[in-house]
Amino acid sequence: MSPSYTGSSSDEDDVSPREKTQKNSKGSNDFCVRNIDLHAFGRREIEIAEQEMPGIVALRKRAADDKPLKGAKIVGCTHINAQTAVLVETLAELGAMVRWAACNIYSTQNEVAAALAEAGYPVFAWRGETEEDFWWCIDRCVNAENWQPNMILDDGGDATHLMLKKYPAMFKLIKGIVEESVTGVHRLYQLSKANKLTVPAMNVNDSVTKTKFDNLYSCKESIIDSLKRSTDVMFGGKQVVVCGYGEVGKGCCQSLRGLGCVVYVTEIDPICALQAWYAFTLMGIDGYYVFPLNEVIRVVDIVVTATGNKNVVTREHMDKMKNGCIVCNMGHSNTEIDVGSLRTPELTWEKVRSQVDHVIWPDGKRIILIAEGRLINLTCSSIPSFVVSITAATQALALIELFNAPAGRYKADVYLLPKKMDEYVASLHLPTFDAHLTELSDDQAKYLGLNKAGPFKPNYYSQGKLVMPKSKSLQMLLFYAPYDERTVPPAEILFRVELESKNLFEFK
Ligand SMILES: NC(=O)c1ccc[n+]([C@@H]2O[C@H](COP(=O)([O-])OP(=O)(O)OC[C@H]3O[C@@H](n4cnc5c(N)ncnc54)[C@H](O)[C@@H]3O)[C@@H](O)[C@H]2O)c1
C-alpha cells in the first residue's frame, strides 16, 4: 500500500509528539499522533476512501455479525492513510483489538492518524518520525499494559523483526503473521530457511488479485498522474522507453501509448519481448519496439524503469541522454537507476520541486530526475483506493484464516493465500461493476475436475505468472500438462503440487 500524496498532512510542528500531552474526547491518551485536533478532517478523508473501497466495506458488512476476529489482538505496522484506516476499522468491526504503527517514517497522514486515535484506536505514528521514533512507535504497539498480541499484520517485516528480537517469549504466542510487501516476504522466507520462524505466516504479496491490481492496473493509472504532477509534461508525441515488460511495465506502456507516446521496451526475457511486440499488432497497430537501452537512449524524452533489477540505467546511459530527458523509476527499490554515479563534482544538482532534481552537465545539458530514483508513483502521487480495497480485503481474509485455522492446518512456514480466498476477494468487488459470473454446470465441473464453488484455478496458476516448483519432476509435469485435463486433470495436478508443496516453491 502506498502513502497518500494529498499534501494535506500537517508536519510543520517542531515539538515531537512524544513530548506532547494529548487526550481524545473520551479522555484516553493511549496513542501518539502529531495533533489530535486534526481528527475531523481525517474522518472526512476516511469517509471519502470508503466510497472507493467496496470490497473491504462489503466484507465488513458480511462478517460483522459473525465477528471472525473476536479475540484477535493484532499489532499492525503499515502505511497509515485514509485507506488503511478503513482496514483498521474493518478489523475492529470484525471483533479484533488492534494497536497500530507506521511502516514508513514519511507516509503517515497525520489527520487520519488523529481520526483513528479519536475513535479510540491506539495509533502511534506521525509524518516525519525519526528512526528512533519509528522503533519506539512499533514498540508501543507490541509492548503495552494488559496486552499480549496474537497476530501481526506487517508491511516490510519491521513489527515481526522487533517482536522476534526483543520479545521472543511474546513472539512464540503469536498465531499468525500476515505480510504484504516483497521485502517482508523475503525476510520471512529467510527466517523460515534459518529455522527461526516459529509461527505460520501468510504471504499476501503474491496473491493473484493483489498482484494484478497493485502491479498492473494501479501502475497503469499512477504513472501518468505522477509524471504530470512532478513535471507537467505533455505526453502526446513524446518518445518513451520502458525498461522491463512485466506487470508494472505493461501497465506503464499501455497508458503512455494511450496518451500518444511512441513507446520502446527493453527486456531480457524473450517471452516478455514477444508479448511487447504483440501488444497491439493483433489490432493492426504496431506493438512496442524492443531494443537494448543503448540503442534508443539518445532519442527518448522519458525513461521509466520497471524491472526490479539494479543498474538498469547507468551513468553511461545518462551521459548519452538528450537535454531535458525525464528519468524515473517504478520498480520496488532505488537501485534501478544508478543515482550514485550522478553525485560527482562535474555535475550540478538543482532541486526544482520537492521530488524533482535537475542534474546538469558541464555543457549545460540537464536531465530531470524524479524522486532520486525511488518509486515515482508512491512518492509523487497516490494509489487508487480501489486497489487498496483489494489488498486490504486480502489482508483481512488472511488474518481471519490464520486466526481461525484448526491446529495443524498451518505449520511454522510461509504460505500463499489459498486460491479460494483470492477468488473471494475478487468476488467481493464484482457488484461494483454489476458483473455476474457464469455458473459451471455439474457436467462441466466434472469435466474440468473442479468444485462448482471454486477454487477455479490451481494454486500454482497465477494469472500470467507461473509459480514454479523446485522439483524437476513436478516442473516437467506442469510444463507438459499445465491445464490439459485430457492428460492430467487440474485437480490432480493441484493435489500432487500440494503433496510436494512444502518448501518446494520458488517464486518468480
Ligand atoms: N510502483 C508500484 O506501485 C509497484 C507496484 C507493484 C510492484 N512494483 C515493483 O515493480 C517491479 C516490477 O514488478 P513486476 O510485477 O512488473 O515484475 P515482473 O517480474 O513481472 O517484471 C519485471 C520485468 O523486468 C525484466 N527485466 C529484468 N531485468 C531487466 C533488465 N536489466 N533490462 C530489461 N528488463 C529487465 C524481467 O524480464 C521482467 O519481465 C518490482 O520491483 C516490483 O516490486 C512496483
Domain count within the chain = 2
Fill in the amino acid letter for 39: H
Pair 273, 358 in one domain:
yes
Q: Is 380 in the pocket of ligand 1 (CB under 6 A)?
A: no
Fill in the amino acid letter for 183: T
Structural domain including 338 reads 216-380
Q: What H or E segment, with its residue span, contains residue 142? A: helix 131-142
Q: Is the pLDDT of residue 417 over 50?
A: yes
Least confident of 119-123, 125-129, 150-154, 347-351: 125-129
Residue 101 lies in a domain: yes
- pLDDT recorded at residue 230: 95
In residues, how long is the chain?
508
Pair 197, 334 in one domain:
no
Q: What is the CATH number of the domain that holds 320?
A: 3.40.50.720
Pair 173, 267 in one domain:
no
With beta carbons less than 8 A apart as the criterion, state whether 158 and 103 touch.
Answer: yes
Pair 55, 172 in one domain:
yes
With beta carbons less than 8 A apart as the criterion, state whether 346 and 278 touch.
Answer: no
pLDDT tens digit string along 137-150?
999 999 999 999 99
Pair 33, 55 in one domain:
yes
Pair 413, 305 in one domain:
no
Beta strand 123-124 with 348-353 is unpaired
Packing angle between helix 110-118 and helix 39-51, nearest 10 degrees? 100
Q: Is 247 in the pocket of ligand 1 (CB under 6 A)?
A: yes
Residue 502 lies in a domain: no
Task: Indicate which atom in ligand 1 lies nearest the CA of residue 218.
Answer: 3
CA–centroid distance, 309 to ligand 1, in Å, is: 7
Residue with the larger pLDDT of the pair 483 and 33: 33
Residue 432 lies in a domain: no
- pLDDT recorded at residue 467: 42
Pair 323, 351 in one domain:
yes
CA–centroid distance, 200 to ligand 1, in Å, is: 28
Pair 202, 221 in one domain:
no
Backbone angles phi, psi at 416, to 5 degrees: -85, 155
Task: Identify the CA nearest to 397 among candidates 28, 19, 63, 100.
Answer: 63
Residue 317 lies in a domain: yes
Q: Is 367 in the pocket of ligand 1 (CB under 6 A)?
A: no
Least confident of 105-119, 138-152, 206-220: 206-220
Residue 280's pLDDT band (cuts 50, 70, 90) = low
Pair 42, 86 in one domain:
yes
Q: Is the pLDDT of residue 238 over 90?
A: yes
Pair 271, 357 in one domain:
yes
- pLDDT recorded at residue 281: 63
Residue 500 lies in a domain: no
Domain boundary among 370, 394, 424: 424
Residue with the larger pLDDT of the pair 391 and 488: 391
Can you say which residues are annotated as belonging to the binding site for NAD(+)?
246-251, 267, 377
Q: Is 309 in the pocket of ligand 1 (CB under 6 A)?
A: yes
Least confident of 192-196, 334-338, 465-469: 465-469
Residue 398 lies in a domain: no
Q: Is 266 in the pocket of ligand 1 (CB under 6 A)?
A: yes
Residue 163 lies in a domain: yes
Q: Is the pLDDT of residue 411 over 80?
A: yes
Per DSSP, the three-state class of 123 is: strand
| Residues in CB range of 9: below 8 A, 6 or more apart | 34, 108, 109, 110, 111, 127
176 has which bridge partners? 151
pLDDT tens digit string along 78-112?
999 999 999 999 999 999 999 999 998 878 999 99
Which of 259-263, 333-337, 454-458 is most confident? 259-263
177 has which bridge partners? 152, 201
Q: Is 331 in the pocket of ligand 1 (CB under 6 A)?
A: yes
Pair 307, 192 in one domain:
no
Q: Where are the beta strands (DSSP E) in 54-187?
A: 73-78, 97-102, 123-124, 151-154, 176-179
Fill in the amino acid letter for 342: L
- Quote the CA–CA distance of 386 and 422 in Å, as a whole number: 16
Per DSSP, the three-state class of 130 is: coil
Q: What is the CATH number of the domain that holds 69?
A: 3.40.50.1480
CA–centroid distance, 89 to ligand 1, in Å, is: 33
- Quote the CA–CA distance of 287 and 278 in Å, as a whole number: 6
Q: Is 182 in the pocket of ligand 1 (CB under 6 A)?
A: yes
With beta carbons less than 8 A apart as the criterion, state whether 267 and 245 touch.
Answer: yes
| pTM of structure | 0.78
Pair 359, 413 in one domain:
no
Can you say which residues are annotated as belonging to the binding site?
246-251, 267, 377
- Quote the CA–CA distance of 231 and 226 in Å, as a whole number: 8
Task: Identify the CA nearest to 347 among candidates 359, 364, 358, 365.
Answer: 359
C-beta atoms surrounding 458 within 10 Å: 23
Residue 7 lies in a domain: no
C-beta atoms surrounding 219 within 10 Å: 27
